[in-house]
A and B are shown apart, each in its own frame.
Chain A
Amino acid sequence: AAGVIQSPRHLIKEKRETATLKCYPIPRHDTVYWYQQGPGQDPQFLISFYEKMQSDKGSIPDRFSAQQFSDYHSELNMSSLELGDSALYFCASSRRQSRVDIQYFGAGTRLSVL
């Protein structure tokens, strides 16, 4: 079965550079979530989109922005990168049904900021 695809898998950037992470949801899924996991920490919710509209916002820095496109893929744009942005970034997708929302995660993008 098709899974959530994230690209790139690894990314190395310098401080103050920009980065774009991409997420391709499972076919027919209408909702995308982004999570950040720092070293030794639990995943933390950043932002989500339902039917291409921003749905919820978590602890996402103002330097980050995201969107969901007409084909339902999503991109997380990160500017003015800081050392503390080094983390695993996971995308999850779901097909929102009444009262049940099972999120399926991608393999993640490991971002290293030097």
Chain B
Amino acid sequence: DAKTTQPPSMDCAEGRAANLPCNHSTISGNEYVYWYRQIHSQGPQYIIHGLKNNETNEMASLIITEDRKSSTLILPHATLRDTAVYYCIVRLLNMLTFGGGTRLMVKP
């Protein structure tokens, strides 16, 4: 599975959009980009996934660059409950490899 690079931490004001970047320059053509988050010691929570097209669901939007070497997770109106570690994971099938992630702090 391709490796990913994320900033270790980010702050966001409550009510504003949170944009979390992820670099995955070695992604292969059939690997998907998945985003999960973990709110303090809870089980990781699936957010969204995509292959090459931009995706949106009730939680977030995923923007994937045309060359697929990077992506951005967008939380359109961050709330205090969105404070968590966000993991960008590139994979085909099988296990998830969690690496570092971005600790997002949403502030009032």
Contact = CB atoms under 8 A, between A and B. Distances in A.
Contacts of A108: 41-43
B101 A42 contact: yes
Contacts, number: 55
B21 interface: no
A113 interface: no
Interface residues of A, number: 26
A43 B44 contact: yes
Interface of B is mostly: loop
Interface residues of B, number: 22
B57 to A, nearest CB: 11
A101 B36 CA distance: 13
Interface of B: 30, 32, 34, 38, 41-46, 49, 87, 92-101
